Structure 1
Amino acid sequence: MRVAFLGLGRMGALLAGHVRDAGHDVTVWNRHRRELDGARVADSVGEAVDGAEVVVTMLFDPDSVRAVAGELLEHAADGAVWVDVTTVGPAASRELGERAVAAGVRFVDAPVLGSTPLAEPGELTTVVGGADEDVERVRPLLGTWCADGKVVHVGPVGSGSAMKLVVNQSLGAVAAGLGEALGLADHLDLPRDAVLDVLSAGAYGWTLGQKRPMLESGDFSAATFSLSGLAKDLGLVVDAAGDHPVPLTREVRARTQDAVDEGHGDEDYAVVIARIAAGRD
């Protein structure tokens, strides 16, 4: 299959590598030119997309996808499938899907659950929105970066993006709760090692299994999911919620954005756990 892959950040490069390793004919493009062994490198979006059967976008936010959408759709072949893996929210996915259909291109939203530790071995989960026939057409491609059985068709276009926001809302909520629990434990003069051991056996176990070394060392530089990414996603959650009350998410989003504004955006999102534990606003 001829595949154009747009976006070679930390996650994009890993996903594109899995597509290449599965034997597909891959052309890549990145806003700042980057290469991928075994793939052609295009100098423009149009050059990358020309002749592709499937176009994958793995960018940062809705505006970054909109920025390439015009050129992508201008050059995409009739009947090609555009798979957007970017976390953009359901409204943006539906908007992009409508633009794609008007240009004769099929559209699937397929954000991934998990970060680089799962992306490297190809053990992610992908939540997918789109028409049945379009999802089945690209399922083998999505499977190149997923664990067996972890390509989950949720519903029509926008459903995958909606599910991704529900998942990342819980990520932010758990981070804030864990930070508050650690801060309370410090206030009660409990030894941090014992607290981490006990909390690891409960509701915070998954997060501590991933983030305990960072919390113990205080070094959040080796980001697997950046704080700026979490702040962006929580903003999308608030936008998607509209009039539906999400007071906890609004508070956590404010805390994460404050930390981004103070220069922590490129650090792992676990830095917000430490900040809340330390009583920092």
Structure 2
Amino acid sequence: MPDTNLPKVAFLGLGRMGAPMARHVLTAGYDLAVWNRTRDKAEPFGRDGAQVADTPALAAAGRQVVVLMLATPDAVRDVLFDPDAGVVTTAEPGTLVIDSSTIGPTASREVAARLAEHDLRYLDAPVYGSVAPATEGTLRVFAGGDAADFERARPLLGLWGDPDKVDLVGPVGTGSAAKLVVNLTLGTSIAAIGEALRLGRELNLEQSLVDSLIEASPLGAAFPPIKAIMESGKAQPANFELSLLRKDLDLCLAEADDLALTGAAREACQRAIGAGHASDDARALAVLMAGLL
């Protein structure tokens, strides 16, 4: 039975990351309602005691907290503001929306302002980490918003995040900004390793030597998952899809001028996606750039 002393929660978006995050909420004893565009991903939660809603509006009705884990800014806008089935059509005044999606600071501030028109609270709280940390409850969480809203959200954020890595980094939008900085370094590092691998091949160096040079370089910490893809020849299942990396680099480019390296990494992503690798793990980009996959 759910713990009646805990707030009622709706969790919207049960993809690779959202599903394990929502599972922590259910396991912790919260009264949980879930929604996903494809209902089959929600059904396992229903079998374990959650309410499965047909629309975001139905999921949010009577809930004190609504958590979003969606792929794009447009998906967030649709789930929240659809005039027939959006969260704002049923959410009670004072409901806190925790947005764990990666949508960028401009979109986060826009969403917060629109929610405020409905007397709803907003905290942008994107996460850094892949499926394994989400499952283990050890993600890093960058939160942006009011301190009181953060304290209200902290018990939930600490379910899927490492409590020592759940931080309020500033006002609304700064959590999303911090996430973009981190993902920019991820994308450009992957692309840089790809070019290093390709240069090694062009110079006819032994692959083991090239690997050891990269491992000893400033990019060495990013190399093990790339090397694992090289050795296995498998870019799936993906912890973080290449299409999502491209989306995040697009968000970076929309927020700042003169990001030449980011632009080059984004174009490398686009070429790989055009070749049919959208659902591959993002780290496979380096292997593809080197012609090793």
Give the TM interval when normalised to the shorter protein: over 0.9
Partner of residue 67, structure 1: 78
Supply the distance in 1 between the matched residues of 2:286 and 2:215 (Cα, whole angstroms).
15
AA aligned opposite 1:41? V
1:217-237 Cα shifts (integer Å, max 9, x gaps): 221022100000000000000
Q: Does 1:56 align with 2:67?
A: yes
1:224-254 Cα shifts (integer Å, max 9, x gaps): 000000000000000011xx21011111101
Partner of residue 56, structure 2: 45
Supply the distance in 1 between the matched residues of 2:212 and 2:9 (Cα, whole angstroms).
46
Instruction: Calculate the TM-score normalised by the size of structure 2.
Output: 0.91
1:170-226 Cα shifts (integer Å, max 9, x gaps): 011100110111112222222213332342243222222233211222210221000
For the Cα contact (< 8 Å) 2:226–2:284, is it kept in 1? no
Supply the distance in 2 between the matched residues of 1:263 and 1:277 (Cα, whole angstroms).
16
Partner of residue 21, structure 1: 27
For the Cα contact (< 8 Å) 1:215–1:270, is it kept in 2? no
For 2:137, which of 122, 126, 133 is the aligned residue? 122
Matches within 5 A, 1:25-174: 25-33=31-39, 34-35=42-43, 36=45, 37-70=48-81, 71-174=86-189
Partner of residue 281, structure 2: 268
For 1:11, which of 12, 17, 21 is the aligned residue? 17
SS at the partner of 1:10? coil
1:8-62 Cα shifts (integer Å, max 9, x gaps): 1110001000111122111100011122233111111111000111000101100
SS at the partner of 1:152? strand
Supply the distance in 2 between the matched residues of 1:136 and 1:148 (Cα, whole angstroms).
12
AA aligned opposite 2:104? G
AA aligned opposite 2:50? A
Partner of residue 290, structure 2: 277
For the Cα contact (< 8 Å) 2:226–2:286, is it kept in 1? no
Runs of 4+ that moved beyond 3 A: none
Q: How many angstroms does 1:145 deviate by?
A: 0.5
Instruction: Calculate the TM-score normalised by the size of structure 1.
Output: 0.95
Supply the distance in 2 between the matched residues of 1:98 and 1:227 (Cα, whole angstroms).
31
AA aligned opposite 1:77? E
SS at the partner of 2:70? coil
Supply the distance in 1 between the matched residues of 2:92 and 2:244 (Cα, whole angstroms).
32
SS at the partner of 2:164? strand
Supply the distance in 1 between the matched residues of 2:158 and 2:62 (Cα, whole angstroms).
22
For 2:259, which of 241, 246, 264 is the aligned residue? 246
Q: How many angstroms does 1:279 deviate by?
A: 9.5
Supply the distance in 2 between the matched residues of 1:238 and 1:125 (Cα, whole angstroms).
23
Supply the distance in 2 between the matched residues of 1:23 and 1:194 (Cα, whole angstroms).
52
Supply the distance in 2 between the matched residues of 1:135 and 1:251 (Cα, whole angstroms).
36
Over the matched positions of the two proteins, sequence identity in percent amounts to: 44
For the Cα contact (< 8 Å) 2:243–2:279, is it kept in 1? yes
Supply the distance in 2 between the matched residues of 1:200 and 1:25 (Cα, whole angstroms).
47
Supply the distance in 1 between the matched residues of 2:90 and 2:220 (Cα, whole angstroms).
47
AA aligned opposite 1:137? R
Supply the distance in 1 between the matched residues of 2:77 and 2:273 (Cα, whole angstroms).
24
Q: Residue 38 and residue 200 in structure 1: after superposition, are their counterparts in 2 closer, same or farther (change >3 A)?
A: farther
- 14-23 vs 54-63, which deviates more? 14-23
What are structure 1's unaligned runs of at least 5 residues?
A: none
1:140-182 Cα shifts (integer Å, max 9, x gaps): 1100011131111111111001111111100111001101111
